[in-house]
């Protein structure tokens, strides 16, 4: 099985408008799909890639124009400056979990397997899903389930988790499933568990917080005319990206100048998100929720 099949590969790399001698950044290297496509289009340029998952490092590309850093993309600016790079021509991010992470039971990302409640993208981190579930107060758990998973009965779910852990600590996927199974809406099991696991994954990896940090740094490090290409997979991260490229803020509040023109650090290359078509969905069903946004720094 492939480490990861990139969604919207051609359209996303097209969006970078690769210059043969340009400097580009792939902040979510994964299986290297986007990086390989970028390198095909580069001449004497450079490509710097980031991935915090040590498993991804095994996919590194042997190319003198390429450098892969085993780092979270929240350290984007510091690493680029350390390499002597004060500006880049484009940055691409394919957000979300790789197929490899979903399909390895011991990583704990998927409810399809019974493995440990881990969910760390960076396995050197100390916070796991088990730690969240067993140590967070009930109200904090409810807020995570609601804010990050958009689970409407989040308080009831949190209460069930606390009741279960009072009997025995929650250590495995099966433990969590058993704790909340009575609350799962009929005929909507997969959707419910997907939301629950998404909320825990976001908390464990601080995904939205780190995404905001990366986007702010990307804006700072992009040269004038540089391209920002982002693929999102759920509404929470897509809303952050959409607000930021439209207004330069995460709240989405739009500023206008004296003449009523929108003041934004970006020019929208795509007015609306580009979605995966039926042909790609048939080949790669996991890409069906992908949304591509492209912007250019003014």
Spatial separation of the C-alpha atoms in residues 102 and 293, rounded to whole Å: 24
pLDDT at 1 over 50: no
The fraction of the chain above a pLDDT of 70, given in percent, is 93
Domain membership of residue 30 (yes or no) is yes
Cβ(261)–Cβ(193) below 8 Å: no
- Residue 125, SS3 per DSSP: coil
Q: Are residues 146 and 290 in the same domain?
A: no
Spatial separation of the C-alpha atoms in residues 255 and 245, rounded to whole Å: 13
56 or 97, which is more confident: 56
Residue 111 neighbours by CB distance under 10 Å: 18
Among 216, 248, 219, 225, smallest CA distance to 298 is for 225
> Which pLDDT value is given to residue 57?
94
Among 233, 255, 261, smallest CA distance to 243 is for 255
Q: Are residues 88 and 213 in the same domain?
A: yes
pLDDT tens string 281-298: 998 888 899 999 999 999
pLDDT tens string 96-131: 775 545 455 455 456 666 789 999 998 889 999 999
CATH, residue 145: 1.10.150.170
| Cβ within 8 Å of residue 1, ≥6 positions away | 99, 100, 103
Mean pLDDT of 19-26: 98
Spatial separation of the C-alpha atoms in residues 190 and 236, rounded to whole Å: 19
Compute the mean pLDDT over every residue in the chain, rounded to the nearest whole number.
92
pLDDT tens string 121-178: 988 899 999 999 999 999 999 999 999 999 999 999 999 999 999 999 999 999 999 9
Spatial separation of the C-alpha atoms in residues 181 and 160, rounded to whole Å: 10
Spatial separation of the C-alpha atoms in residues 158 and 148, rounded to whole Å: 13
Q: Are residues 150 and 270 in the same domain?
A: no
Question: CA dist 23 to 44, 45, 287, Å?
Answer: 9, 6, 27
CATH, residue 271: 3.40.50.150
Range of the domain at 179: 105-205
pLDDT tens string 190-228: 999 999 999 999 999 999 999 999 999 999 999 999 999
CB-side neighbour CA atoms (13 Å) of 251: 3
Number of domains within the chain: 2
Cβ(209)–Cβ(73) below 8 Å: no
């Amino acid at each position: 099985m492939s480490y990861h099949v990139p969604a919207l590969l051609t359209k996303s790399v097209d969006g970078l408008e690769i210059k043969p001698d340009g400097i580009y950044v792939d902040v979510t290297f994964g299986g290297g799909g986007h990086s390989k496509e970028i390198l095909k289009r580069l001449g004497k340029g450079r490509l710097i890639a980031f991935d915090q998952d040590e498993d991804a490092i095994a996919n590194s590309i042997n190319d003198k124009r390429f450098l892969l850093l085993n780092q979270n993309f929240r350290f984007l600016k510091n690493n680029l400056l350390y390499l002597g790079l004060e500006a880049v021509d484009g940055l691409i991010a394919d957000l979300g979990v790789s197929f490899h992470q979903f399909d390895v039971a011991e990583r704990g990302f998927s409810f399809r397997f019974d493995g440990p409640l881990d969910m760390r993208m960076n396995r050197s981190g100390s916070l796991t899903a088990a730690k969240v579930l067993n140590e967070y107060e009930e109200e904090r758990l409810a807020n995570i389930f609601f804010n990050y998973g958009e689970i409407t009965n989040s308080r009831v779910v949190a209460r069930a988790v606390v009741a279960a852990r009072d009997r025995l600590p929650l250590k495995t996927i099966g433990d969590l499933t058993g704790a909340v199974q009575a609350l799962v809406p009929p005929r909507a099991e997969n959707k419910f568990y997907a939301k629950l696991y998404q909320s825990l994954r976001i908390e464990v990896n601080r995904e939205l917080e780190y995404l905001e940090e990366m986007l702010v740094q990307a804006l700072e490090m992009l040269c004038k005319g540089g391209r920002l290409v982002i693929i999102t997979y759920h509404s929470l991260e897509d809303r952050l990206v959409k607000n930021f490229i439209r207004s330069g803020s995460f709240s989405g509040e739009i500023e206008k100048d004296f003449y009523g023109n929108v003041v934004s650090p970006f020019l929208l290359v795509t007015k609306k998100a580009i979605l995966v078509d039926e042909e790609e969905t048939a080949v790669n069903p996991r890409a069906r929720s992908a949304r591509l946004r492209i912007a250019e720094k003014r």
